[in-house]
A = this chain, B = another copy of it.
Amino acid sequence: MTAVPPAVRLARAYLLRVAEPPAPALAELVAGHGPVRGAALVREGRVPPAVLAETEARSGVDRAAADLLAAEALGARLVVPEDEEWPAWPFAAFWPAAARGVDWAVPPLGLWVRGPARLDELSQSAVAVVGSRASTPYGDHVASELGYELAERGVTVASGAAYGIDGAAHRGALAAGGPTLAVLGCGVDYGYPSGHAGLLRRIAEDGAIVSEYAPGTPPARHRFLVRNRLIAVLSEGTVVVEAGARSGARNTAAAAAQLGRLVMAVPGPVTSATSHGCNLMIRNGDAVLVDGAAQVVETVGRLGADLGAETGRPVDESARPTDGLDPEQLRVHEALRPRAAHGADWLAKEAGVPLDRVRAVLPMLEHRGLAQRCPAGWRLAPTAARGRRER
């Protein structure tokens, strides 16, 4: 199926175990030497001190082949950056954050994936819905509705499969028949939390369970925080449904903001401690208030354009569909053809816009009803084609 050499996959399986993510020095070594040579250097201990510090405790442990076999046995696989389905443009968001000194902004060396969906396709139009484990009936209701209505609109719901808000969001998406993406802080086979074993099975049927941790890795507190950066980066935006003042969901939201993702929050009663974090994020301007799926899609649709959250008014009915697009986005839009679909590479050349940016812009144009995804690539959406002719 794939042209990736087995040695590459084995090397990355080894590297994923040899250091506890995020391991910035190891990531740099692998970026410089490639995975196979990088793994050999780590095994031999011929690495700079920073890499040694990250890897020496486990450099002698090589369970790569066993991990790959274990994954295969449970219908999982290791997706590596060399694979076609690797979501390259989301992970590209790590580099500017790392350049700003964000120490955890390290892309994963590979991802264990359980489920039939392609990772790049899932993350291309994903929105994360996260929140408190100790949710209230209000939060559960809102998260479930949000999951359902986002899935109905073709948005992939990403979350952490935890109790409370996460579970309600996944369940809502499943009820609408939509694929959903669960990112775990343990192995994809670990079945944690135990009460969600059935839910995880259902997520793996159509969507994907994703983890940096090899099969069998138990959950740990620090792994949830490390995992949160992946929920954030694999989504175009993160919605916090309920969060206390010190919730882990606020950590995901902070990660999303640092990675240039849009952060949204659902308000709640000021008398509810579980809404305190959401209300505070909105007050401080750290999150845009959203009251449901329509506002989430509207808000994410603005992504990259002038966010306008501070000055935004209800959309003018007479407005052009391309209002608010920046010049780069307009060029991608202009490059789309009404009938023939073209790949992102073709569009990048046609528009004169870097490929990574084209990949970022296309799902946004899709959300706004300006572009249509086809098996062969992208074309102008039928309504947008009419709008363009009328001008």
Contact = CB atoms under 8 A, between A and B. Distances in A.
Given A267-B267, A271-B141, A309 B289 contact: no
A291 B283 contact: yes
A144 to B, nearest CB: 12
A194 interface: no
Interface residues of A, number: 29
A284 B312 contact: yes
Contacts of A280: 291
Contacts of A369: none
Contacts of A142: 270-271
Contact of A283 (B268, B269, B309): B309
A288 interface: yes
A282 B311 contact: no
Nearest to A267: B267
Tell me the number of copies of this protein: 2
Interface string A164-186: 00000000000000000000000
Interface in A256-284: 266-271, 275-276, 279-280, 282-284
A313 interface: yes
Given A142-B271, A267-B267, A267-B270, A309 B285 contact: yes
A310 interface: yes
A95 interface: no
A292 B311 contact: no
Nearest to A283: B289
Contacts of A289: 267, 279, 282-283, 289
A383 interface: no
Interface of A: 138, 141-142, 266-271, 275-276, 279-280, 282-285, 288-292, 295, 309-314
Given A267-B270, A279-B289, 9 more contacts: A266-B270, A267-B275, A268-B268, A269-B269, A283-B312, A284-B314, A285-B309, A285-B312, A289-B289
